[in-house]
Amino acid sequence: MTTAFEKQLKDYRLTTAEILYWMPDHAHVLQTFIWQDLDIAPKFPVLSRFLGFWQRNLDGKLHRVRIASAGLIQPAEFRYTDALYQVH
C-alpha cells in the first residue's frame, strides 16, 4: 500500500471538492457534501471514481462539483532580505 507521503512525491495533490446535490426526498432542496483526498490534477482520477460511484449507487442527483487542488510538497522558496539587523 502506498503511503500519503509517497503519493505526494508522485505529484498527488490535496484535492477538495464541494459537491452540491439534490436531496432525494425533497427534490427542490440542495445539500452540500465536502470530499477531500489526494488526487492528480488536472484529470482527478480518484475524484472521478468517487463521482462515478455516487451516480451509480446514491439517490441524490449531482447539481454541481467545485474543485480546489494544492500541492503539499513544493520546492523551497528563497528570497533576499532588504535589511540587515545586528543583535547584541
In the chain, domain spans: 4-26+39-70
Beta-strand (E) ranges in the chain? 13-22, 30-39, 62-70
Residue-wise pLDDT tens digits, 25-84: 998 999 999 999 999 999 999 999 999 999 999 999 999 999 999 988 777 677 776 776
- Which of 65, 7, 17, 63 lies closest to 38 in space, CA to CA? 7
The mean pLDDT of 12-35, rounded to a whole number, is 95
C-alpha cell at 72: 503539499
Query: 3-state class of 64 per DSSP?
Result: strand
Is 73 within 8 Å of 65 (Cβ atoms)?
no
C-alpha cell at 23: 436531496
pLDDT value for 84: 67
